[in-house]
Amino acid sequence: MAQGTVIHVAPKQPTYAVCVLGTNTHLEVHSSAPQGCTSFGISASPGVVVDVAHGPPVKKTPTGSSKWPLDPGLEVSLRMTAVSCSKGDQKVQISYYGPKTSPVQALLYITGVEISLSADITRTGKEKPTKARKDQRTWTWGPQGQGAILLVNCDKDNRKSSTMDCADDKVLDREELQDMSLVTLNTKTPRDFFTKHQLVLHVAKSEMDKVRVFQAHRKKQSSEYKVILGPQQPSHLLKVPGGQHSTEFYMEGLAFPDASFPGLISLTVSLLDTSKPELPKALVFQDSVAFRVAPWIMTPNTQPAKEVYVCSISENEDFVASLSALAKKAKCKLTICPLEENMEDQWMQDEIEIGYIQAPHKTLPVVFDSPRNRGLKEFPIKHLLGPDFGYVTRGPQTGDISSLDSFGNLEVSPPVTVGKKKYPLGRILIGDSSFPSTKSEEMHQALQDFLTAQQVQAPVRLCSDWLAVGHVDEFLSFVPVHKKGFRLLLASPRACYKLFQEQLKEGHGEALLFKGVKKTKQQNIKDILSNKKLREQNSYVESCIDWNREVLKRELGLTERDIVDIPQLFKLHSQPSGTLKAEAFFPNMVNMLVLGKYLGIPKPFGPIINGRCCLEEKVRSLLEPLGLHCTFIDDFYTYHLRHGEVHCGTNVRREPFSFKWWHMVP
């Protein structure tokens, strides 16, 4: 609720005060009482409502007015019901009584004014903000919550600009205003009111570098927008005429929530009394609106795909052609980053993650740029950042970067419920070390802080440093299905050995893995099953995946029925650090591209039995009954041998959730 001041009256001399409509103003009557007085009465003009917080009056005087005892705990408050036409045109009279004294009067002359900030605190998305409400100074979550929302203006509406819109202090056209939040200051006062009063608009100094406020100046055929608050500008003296007036402000966010910024910003207007030049300005009234900066939100595989991204590199023409055919089936746009712009860096998944930000009036995709900064470094800035496509990055831009900082190590689950706790936007999944050591790696703290600070997709840490590349997308994926909404796919050496054992029993022990693949040693099922070292290595890998399996079941509220085991073998290789890390033994089928019901799965080149790859047939038998369509894509030479697969080499922009993030309770 907006806050007014306290009014002290003085007997035998008039007091003048300002009361703002919509506020309760405390009237102090006890400390002003003349000596010997034990009770008081009070009367007021029709435009003033007086409330006395006490029991019923002691008695009534013959004229009908009420008397109350002068009790220190008694509270008197005033409310205005109309704006004054002139200064002091509303009157309150306090009469003090005592058993041995004559009645003494104190007169209060009140000027009633309207001063209020209004914004879209009910989150309707309407252009004109909601009228001020008593609790707009607080921001609350949930479907019944309220509070205004602010977007970080991180797109680039003018393609010729060299930077994001939030990095400059200009509004080039009305289109850019759609990325901002409208706030209106409504004032209604006597004509001469602002000759002795001032209005100041301000934000906290700790918040001034997180927001920028433009004031609209209307002209006959156009409008101008001048920066009045922002970095190094925490307050601004407003020039407001007397009478009835409305002033529009447009707010843009400059920073996402992070470790040192919870995302909350309060915009406040203060009314100051300047009637006594020899004294400092006195604070009379304040009104505030609370805003929360919209979080960056990831989209899981279960969200419909809108656009697929892939790189064109040397000798991956067939891969791109297969991907193009898959995107066409899924009715997705395909964007190809040419060789001269990716500089032979094909790992599109590692460079970026495409999410979105949302306010009731606007939703726009935002690319999160990883700090890996290899050949694709310029792609998100040159090709994605633009009108209604935002950009954000975190982490050091040079040095001190590990493989775990690439975004193949950043995934998100579909919506889940864990016990009584709902995660309607899913939970972020990141890979971490099993325990810290001098040789262990983990995602950079700046990235972790950013992801945690968004609040709406509480991160889950998985163990991934047993992998050579160390990314969670090497052992898990999610696919959409009708009943539960999704299935979790996990790479499983156990399932692969079981499949090969079955094939051996059926007399297919001589069937070859990698048949037809050039420059690759072919191995038959019998030799793979008898390779004790390989089996021991996969037993270790299985234990690592099982650990994550239990974490995922616990943190995502899953059961075994929600999990599909995808047959996969791994092998351990010595790393420069001297430790052994796991790599896929054959193309890693769980590292797939999910476009609705269409799946682009790495072609495993498994043993051919009865004219068909037994690994492909097994995966089809697991996924196609769920309504999914499996397409196996050859990525062997250009991706698999370079320690990645289909998912690593692609990226997807997906539809935002229909669920509004502000309706959840983190």
Q: Of 311, 332, 337, 648, which is the active-site residue?
A: 648
Residue linked to tokens 């790479």: 491
Contacts of 561 (CB under 8 A, 6+ apart): none
- Helix ranges restricted to H, 124-274: 174-177
Contacts of 327 (CB under 8 A, 6+ apart): 308, 333, 334, 595
Residue linked to tokens 């009633």: 112
Residue linked to tokens 């050949």: 375
What is the DSSP track for 206-220? TTTTSEEEEEEEE-S
What single DSSP character describes residue 360? Answer: T
612 residue type, one letter? R
Torsion angle, alpha carbons of 450, 452, 454, 455, to 10: -170
| Residue 19 is a catalytic residue | no
DSSP element (H, E) containing 499:
helix 493-505
| Residue 648 is a catalytic residue | yes
Q: Of 202, 471, 508, 643, which is the active-site residue?
A: 471
DSSP element (H, E) containing 235:
strand 235-238
Q: Of 350, 405, 465, 562, which is the active-site residue?
A: 350
* Other residues' Cβ atoms within 10 Å of the Cβ of residue 237: 12
Please, are residues 534 and 569 in contact by the beta-carbon 8 Å criterion? Answer: yes
Radius of gyration of the chain (CA): 34
Strand pairing of 15-20 and 101-118?
Answer: parallel
| Residue 37 is a catalytic residue | no
DSSP element (H, E) containing 553:
helix 532-556
What stretches of 333-405 adopt beta strand conformation (E)? 333-337, 352-359, 362-369, 390-393
Distance between terminal CA atoms of the chain?
A: 25
Q: Of 165, 258, 432, 473, which is the active-site residue?
A: 473
Residues pairing with 13 in the sheet:
10
Half-sphere exposure of 142 (CA within 13 A, CB side): 4
What single DSSP character describes residue 176? Answer: H
* Other residues' Cβ atoms within 10 Å of the Cβ of residue 660: 18
DSSP reduced 3-state for 643: coil
Burial readout 420-434 (b: 16 or more C-beta within 10 A, e: otherwise): eeebbbbbbbbbbbe
CA separation, residue 142 to residues 220, 296, 422, 456 (Å): 42, 18, 12, 12
What is the Cα–Cα distance from 514 to 519, expressed in whole angstroms?
A: 10
79 residue type, one letter? R
What is the Cα–Cα distance from 58 to 314, expressed in whole angstroms?
A: 96
Q: Between vectors from CA 393 to CA 297 and to CA 413, what angle results, nearest 5°?
A: 30
Residue linked to tokens 């990095």: 167
DSSP element (H, E) containing 584:
strand 580-584
Residues pairing with 199 in the sheet:
238, 271
Residues pairing with 51 in the sheet:
77
Token couple for 366: 């935002």
Q: Annotated active-site positions, please?
A: 350, 471, 473, 648
